[in-house]
Amino acid sequence: MEYIASMKNISKAFSGVPVLKNVNFNISEGKVHSLIGGNGAGKSTLMKILTGFYKYDSGSIYVDGEEKFFKGPFDAHENGIYLVPQEPLLYPYMTVEENITLGIDRKKSELRSEIKQVMKDLNVSIDLGNLADQLTIAKQQIVELIKGLIRKNRIIILDEPTSSLTQKEVDALFKNIKKLKKENNISFIYITHRMSEIFEISDEISILKDGELISGGNIEDYTLEKVLDLMVPDIKEENIEKNVDQEMDSKKCDDIIFEAKKLGGKGFFDVDINVKKGEVVGLTGVVGAGRTEFAEAVFGINEIIDGEISLEGKPFKADNPKDAIKKGLVYVPEDRRKHGGFLESSIKRNIVSSIIYKLTSFFSNSKKEREISQEYIEKMSIKCNSEDQNFVALSGGNQQKVVLGKWLAAQPKVIILDEPTRGIDANSRKEIYETIKSLSREGIGILVISSDFEEILKLSDRAFVMYNGKTVKEFKKDEINMGNITYASFGYIKEGALN
């Protein structure tokens, strides 16, 4: 069978870690091909290779049967392949029209007429003279889509295109996709975590898991249950050392130390989560479920619009992160280099930064800073030359330990850990797990946000799953398994859809 484009035996590794392993992916003309998989399956990497953003380590790419070597996105565009990204990449201080038409050598009047027709087809209205920076994220996403549609591409990749759209806009998008594939033979690669959309819009499907293509074919040959079962991680759960510790269990009680009820904000709504004293609670879901947005709002980074929070049974609201820390709640962010640590500062300065307001009047208490930093270097087993060593010179695992030490110095009652072991080696991961268990023994309530389902199994006394911005399921300890978490992360339980 002839394909408009093919990727053959594509492999890719980052820092020696394989993320794609001999993947074969074919695109038929005039079809919608859904590419799905769980967190870290390799979907984005595969598409960035197809569009020239990444170079592959081995394999080959063919367009119309001819092998191609893309040096960058421009080469992919020249061959009719265009990626509409999940996160808009517009120039903020250019107009909508300038962003859409950038790099297109055609008459301005002709382009403007075509843009207006595409907007009409999509059932949206956007002022072409507005600066991109003035648009909502949803409208920026639509502008990215329009950019792809007017460039006469033969293959359009849509990465989570409906994540910020209303149902009316989704319906219009699907109608336009069907029209374009029928009338113009345009092929679409569709990436989404919404299973209902896959069965509504797709002609073909490919499923990635752990960097490998495990199944693919016509959508008619698949059921929802088959797709979800294929996506359950291949991990022998009996070999996972779960969080079972009699000493730790004795410290747990039924006292709820942290609770969010019907909480809503930017990127999440109707979130119900609680953590008991001395308990480790997991919070998981696919990327884009709203987990980090929830944590940032609780910590006072972003605004809370609806709902209420309590800490130790009393109403809690953080006006800003400093206020949250003073009240006994800390948040360890996902990106430790960007948000968690001060790269060019010493370990000492990083560790005491969360309590500097206690140590500083008109000058710093250097002796106290040194004592505190040495205490947490020892407690966290941070491998360093001294407390004066720069944070940026440490390994990823030791950077994460410094960030944890920084927040522990604030003596919190509740800790929210966002992807605590992402990007660190196995030994450091094990040490972080031991630290989390040790903290729970001290009676601290811990909420672990993780995309790694195995991590949730290992650490959690209970687990909550978020989907499309809200909590959809709570699992007790004996209910936490790969199948239950996978289904709930895509909006389903074994009996059917979650509301």
Fold (CATH) for 5-231: Rossmann fold (3.40.50)
- Sole residue written with tokens 């959309």: 197
16-20, 141-145, 204-208, 379-383, range with the lowest pLDDT? 379-383
Confidence label for 16 from pLDDT (cuts 50, 70 and 90)? confident
Higher-pLDDT residue of 207, 428: 207
Q: What is the pLDDT of residues 216-250, one digit of tens each?
A: 999 999 999 999 999 887 765 555 565 555 454 55
The reported pLDDT for the residue numbered 246 is: 47
CB contact at 8 A, 268 and 458: no
> Between vectors from CA 471 to CA 311 and to CA 136, what angle results, nearest 5°?
100
Q: Which CATH superfamily is domain 237-497 in?
A: P-loop containing nucleotide triphosphate hydrolases (3.40.50.300)
Per-residue tokens: 244: 């079972």
Average pLDDT of span 82-97 = 89
pLDDT at residue 150 tops 90: no
Q: What share of the chain is helix, strand, coil (3-state, %, to 5)?
A: 40, 25, 35
Pinpoint the residues of the chain covered by CATH 3.40.50.300.
5-231, 237-497
CB contact at 8 A, 91 and 132: yes
In angstroms, rounded to a whole number, what is the distance separating the alpha carbons of residues 425 and 393? 16
- Phi and psi dihedrals of 94, rounded to 5? -105, 155
CB contact at 8 A, 482 and 232: yes
Q: pLDDT exceeding 90 applies to what percent of the chain? A: 51
The reported pLDDT for the residue numbered 179 is: 85
Q: What is the pLDDT of residues 454-493, one digit of tens each?
A: 999 999 999 999 998 999 999 999 999 999 999 999 988 7
The mean predicted confidence, pLDDT, of the chain is: 87
> Between vectors from CA 133 to CA 130 and to CA 139, what angle results, nearest 5°?
75
pLDDT at residue 369 tops 70: yes
Residues 6+ apart with CB under 8 A from 53: 72, 73, 83
pLDDT at residue 410 tops 90: no
In angstroms, rounded to a whole number, what is the distance separating the alpha carbons of residues 18 and 419? 20
Query: For the chain, how many residues are written?
Result: 499
The reported pLDDT for the residue numbered 129 is: 94
Q: How many CA atoms lie within 13 A of 256 on its CB side?
A: 15
Confidence label for 418 from pLDDT (cuts 50, 70 and 90)? very high
In angstroms, rounded to a whole number, what is the distance separating the alpha carbons of residues 309 and 298? 8
Average pLDDT of span 348-353 = 81
> What is Dmax (Cα atoms) for the chain?
76
pLDDT at residue 349 tops 50: yes
Closest by alpha carbon to 233, among 477, 469, 454? 454
194-208, 237-251, 290-304, 454-468, range with the lowest pLDDT? 237-251
Q: Are strands 204-209 and 32-36 parallel, antiparallel or unpaired?
A: parallel
